[in-house]
Structure 1
Amino acid sequence: MIQFLKNIFGDSTPKEESFSALGVDMHSHILPGIDDGSENMERSLELVQVMQSLGYRKLIMTPHIMSDFYKNTPEIIREKLALLRQAVAEAGIEMELDCAAEYYLDEGLLHKLEHGEELLTFGDNYLLFETSFLNEPLNLREAIFKMRSRGYKPVLAHPERYTYFYGKFDALVALRENGVLFQPNLNSLTGYYSPGAKEYAERLIEGGLVDFLGSDAHGLKHTNSLQKVFNSKYLSKALALPIRNSQL
């Protein structure tokens, strides 16, 4: 009957027209020339302007830190942040800018945790991390334990994209029950990455298993795709959850 009425009158789910309800994006690669995101300051300024037009008031930018590829440090990241803040101010763009990092779960991260090295976090000591998309790390739970024992609140970036959880949704839920917060990518709601990522993002939302929503913007291809997210009924469902972005 519900579907019959929708066919006649249309889906009454309210359509979002901006991300102002989120206000803050806590996962992007907009700092210039530091990873596989924005290649220069000109592009970074363009991305900041686009994010502003999408309704964001604050960007917490999170460059990759990976032992083998992106050997960024807090000092390098903060230096880039200062340069972008200056450029944004000179361009007259009203946007609050901050930084953290997206840590790849490798031996380098474990070393930093074991030796108490500074890790860049956001908000209430939230630590954003990612893993291989294909293979579950053997040390996943060990790393989570070390993060939590050090006082960090681990946030798993784009949990819907890890194919090693496909067909094992309960294992993903178990991670959250073990204290890991979840941050799906908004573009997953459009099928941008894969049908599997879209399905799992929707399942996480349906289950109320979402703590943050991130753009994961690397360039204009991602921000352009964000426009399509407004057509997803799952965006309104996600925003009805106690998402923490606006608290940052």
Structure 2
Amino acid sequence: MLRFFSKKLFLKDLLEDFVDIHNHILPGIDDGAKTIEDALSLLKKMNELGIKQYIPTPHIMQDFYPNTDATIGDAFQALLGALDSNLLESITLNPAAEYMLDNHFESLLENGNLFTLKKNYVLIEMSYFQAPINLEDIIFKIKTQGYMPILAHPERYSFYHNNLDYYKRLKQLGCSFQLNLLSLSDHYGKNVEKTANYLMEEQLIDFAGTDVHNEKHVEKLSNLILHRKINTLLNGIIENTNQTFSVI
């Protein structure tokens, strides 16, 4: 009896000209690239996957990474100065930030001076241990200040895994969702992968990003195989990400 095997669907086949809106490639200012050499290596390997546009999003986290416009700008300029001219001509880099929803963020929000992804889109994250008690109030304040909140990697917040309906509540409040591409594997654990699939199937995911911190992440992205249904859903999410954030 003849057996027919479907062609494997690799994530990397969807990444040609991808706009990566979440990564940690700026050197020496958070838990991502440690040195300029690390950053250059990451960019080279990500470029080989077809990624051409990058929005670096270093953490701004009061207790661990108290980055400012100045520290982000300095790291960005150092990376630009070290880039090979050929690579520099083939990619775009436009730095932003990933904001932890802590007291410091609320102070920055009141001043109305956030480092956005593009226009008024701002990338936010929460502690993996618990959401802020006043989460809904913070989202409301972000919206009233004229920003569009994008919650980074919602699938990774385990305190919602047994309360999946709350994701829909966050969407109702006007919060967009950004999927980590590695969540489509068991990289962060099976429960995260399961939740990622659920959010995609419920059409709750708006955008995608790599959240790359190191070369191991890039290697895993390169080898990630997708189920056919997830591949179809992800293709639409990637198209939306590119259309929304491309500067070309």
TM norm. shorter chain > 0.5: yes
1:33 positional shift = 0.3
- The 8 Å contact of residues 26 and 60 in structure 1, kept in 2 or not, is answered as yes
* Residue number in structure 2 paired with 1:75: 70
Identity %: 37
* Residue number in structure 2 paired with 1:196: 191
- The 8 Å contact of residues 189 and 232 in structure 1, kept in 2 or not, is answered as no
1:208 positional shift = 1.2
* Partner SS for 1:99: coil
Gaps of 5+ in 2: none
Q: Of 94, 100, 104, which residue of structure 2 is paired with 1:98? A: 94
- Structure number having the greater strand percentage: 2
Q: Which amino acid in 2 is paired with 1:126? A: Y
Q: TM-score, structure 2 length as denominator?
A: 0.90
1:79 positional shift = 1.9
Q: Which amino acid in 2 is paired with 1:49? A: K
Alpha-carbon distance between aligned partners in 2 of 1:21 and 1:92, rounded to the nearest angstrom: 16
Task: Count matched residues.
Answer: 241
1:26-105 superposed matches below 5 A: 26-90=21-85, 92-93=87-88, 94-105=90-101
Q: Is 2:129 aligned against 1:128? A: no
Alpha-carbon distance between aligned partners in 2 of 1:161 and 1:96, rounded to the nearest angstrom: 28
1:229 positional shift = 2.4
1:107-186 superposed matches below 5 A: 107-116=103-112, 118-186=113-181
Alpha-carbon distance between aligned partners in 1 of 2:162 and 2:240, rounded to the nearest angstrom: 28
Gaps of 5+ in 1: 1-6
- The 8 Å contact of residues 210 and 243 in structure 1, kept in 2 or not, is answered as no
Q: TM-score, structure 1 length as denominator?
A: 0.90
Distance 1:151 1:160, change over 3 A: same
- Alpha-carbon displacement from aligned partner over 1:163-207 (angstroms, at most 9, x marks no partner): 110111110111012110000100010110011110111011111
Alpha-carbon distance between aligned partners in 1 of 2:22 and 2:196, rounded to the nearest angstrom: 16
